[in-house]
Structure 1
Amino acid sequence: MGVHEDQETGAAEPSVPAQNPTQDSTRDSTQNPTSDIDEKERQRPAAEDTKDEARSKTVPSSRFTGHQLFYIFGLDGIGALILSGGINFAIAYAMYTRQSKPIRLWQLPNTFAGDAAVTIIIQCIITWFVELFILRYDLSQGAVQPIGFIPQPTHPWLRFFFFLPKDPTAEIERKPRPWSLLEIIQQALRGFSFAVVSFLILWPIFMGALTAFGVKDGGDYYYHNKWVPQVFKLILGGVLGLLVTPWMAMFWLVKAGWEHRREDSTTAEV
């Protein structure tokens, strides 16, 4: 095929450009909006399923689910055992490894009896506040379902312990807000109550076990600065975390179930 020339200038005339398939497809989609509508219709059920799944995670469960048990005893229980044990081991290593004063079971200044008591109190209070904020965040994100099959207590002291109004028919406050100093103290006292129970259970057991690893001198027991103090704190902190953390998590999961139930009943009345 010959190239056409311009009769006046002798230059070759430009050939007809080939059609751009991209432009054609764009033109087709512009001229045929039905395909876009069909695509949106196909995506809509998937989006609605995702919303329904997220909404179902905020509804209180009628029984313990596998995910709740994993969250309570796996993440909070085993997780607290590892984390609390490791932190206490590090603290004991810093406290006792280069200690020049004698380490004893009963007598000051380095006393395992006093160390165990202080560890139980401080760890329970700190764990209480940590669980409070973690559970508040996870519940708001739908990471775990509230527990919905446990009825509200009717005894006034139990209702006070769970921050419930004295009147069972009264509305439960749900919105997070800044705490007053009194409310912070009340939260700390809840953690301290766990410390009292833990002390009564764990402290005598650990004091009795430590007598087997010390050197008796008079009415007291003496210990080397390695490795008994570090292992003692490791086991105490880990066991304490394993025992109390799941109960604290269930406290807030159960309370969230009561709050959700109350909200649903209020909405139904309206």
Structure 2
Amino acid sequence: MTWATNPLFTPGEPDEKKDATDVEARLQHDSGNTTDLTTSKSDEWAFKTPTDHLTRRQAVYLFVLDGIVSGLIGAGINFGIAYATYHTQDAVRLFVLPNALAADTGFTLLAQFIITWWAECFVVGWHLRTGVVPSIGFFREPKSRFMRWYFYLDDKQPQELRGFKPWFSLFFGNAIRSLILLAIFFPVVFGATIGFLTLVGTRRGAEWYYDVVFAPQIFKLVFGIVVGSICTPPMAAFFLVRCGWIMKAREGAGGMQSVEEISSTEA
């Protein structure tokens, strides 16, 4: 995982000793091939220049590839879980445990946010490194301590994750950030969901009841689509924006070039 997409790494001085070691190792590995021997592995990735506006490619990536596709995947998983959970139950209610759709909604939001954020960390990182999508470069880098902490802009960490501690920090740190984003979405999504469920349920006293066979499965199917489509794009944008800030910082310090800059230099 390279500097631009590893959330634990921020811009720093190039490691000249490591670069020299890499070049020497490549010379020993293939003494007959002298093409681009001074280019480190991180420079071989096809990073694109950060954009100064939201491009069509970025919009399609965020709202179609990330939003809709994530929604469909979430819908399938939620539907399968709902079918396995509810089809053998005697009753499905809104608030009273067990088999309460309100509790299921809260747990699903928690699990889907954390899992989706982790997935986006690696998927978007790979797409940035391979040039599938350029990073976003039209936002100003934040100055507040909280925002710089949230976007991993001040933590000095190694470029590679080796050992248990860096990987634990990676997963724990991203989980915390996904929960912060969840805190923003939760009141709106949870409130709207409960309101909708009161409209489609059968009220008996202070509780609402639902058909065991169809209602929870269809609900979780639709819920997965909505949550995935709405909440995944901001997660993907987090890594696109952060990568843009770090690429600009590294380029300004004479660090890693984008694929466009490398191509123009070779030409």
Distance 2:168 2:198 in 1: 42
Q: 1:14 corresponds to which residue?
A: none
Contact kept, 8 Å, 2:63 with 2:233, in 1: the verdict is yes
Q: 1:158 corresponds to which residue?
A: 147
Q: Structure 1 residues 218, 131: CA separation in 2 closer, same or farther (over 3 Å shift)?
A: same
> Of the two, which has the highest radius of gyration?
1
How far residue 184 of structure 1 moved from its aligned partner, in angstroms, is 2.3
TM-score normalized by the length of structure 1: 0.73
Contact kept, 8 Å, 2:50 with 2:136, in 1: the verdict is yes
Corresponding residue SS for 1:263: helix
Distance 2:88 2:96 in 1: 19
Aligned length: 209
Q: 1:69 corresponds to which residue?
A: 59
Which of the residues 222, 225, 230 maps onto 2:217? 230
Q: Structure 1 residues 174, 68: CA separation in 2 closer, same or farther (over 3 Å shift)?
A: farther
Q: Indicate the structure whose relative CO is greater, using CA pairs within 8 Å and at least 6 residues apart.
A: 2
How far residue 175 of structure 1 moved from its aligned partner, in angstroms, is 2.4
Measured on the aligned residues, the alpha-carbon RMSD in Å equals: 2.0
Q: Match for 2:159: what amino acid?
A: K
Corresponding residue SS for 2:127: helix
TM-score normalized by the length of structure 2: 0.73
Q: Match for 1:68: what amino acid?
A: Q
Q: Match for 2:110: what amino acid?
A: I
Q: Match for 2:55: what amino acid?
A: T
Q: Structure 1, residues 166-186: CA drift from partner, whole Å, max 9, x if none?
A: 8xxxxx768242424344212
Q: Match for 2:168: what amino acid?
A: L
Q: 2:207 corresponds to which residue?
A: 220
Displacement over 4 Å in runs of 4+: 54-57
Fraction of identical pairs, as percent = 34
Give the gaps of 5 or more residues in structure 2. 1-43, 256-267
Q: Match for 2:75: what amino acid?
A: G
Q: 1:204 corresponds to which residue?
A: 191
Distance 1:127 1:151 in 2: 26
Distance 2:97 2:71 in 1: 28
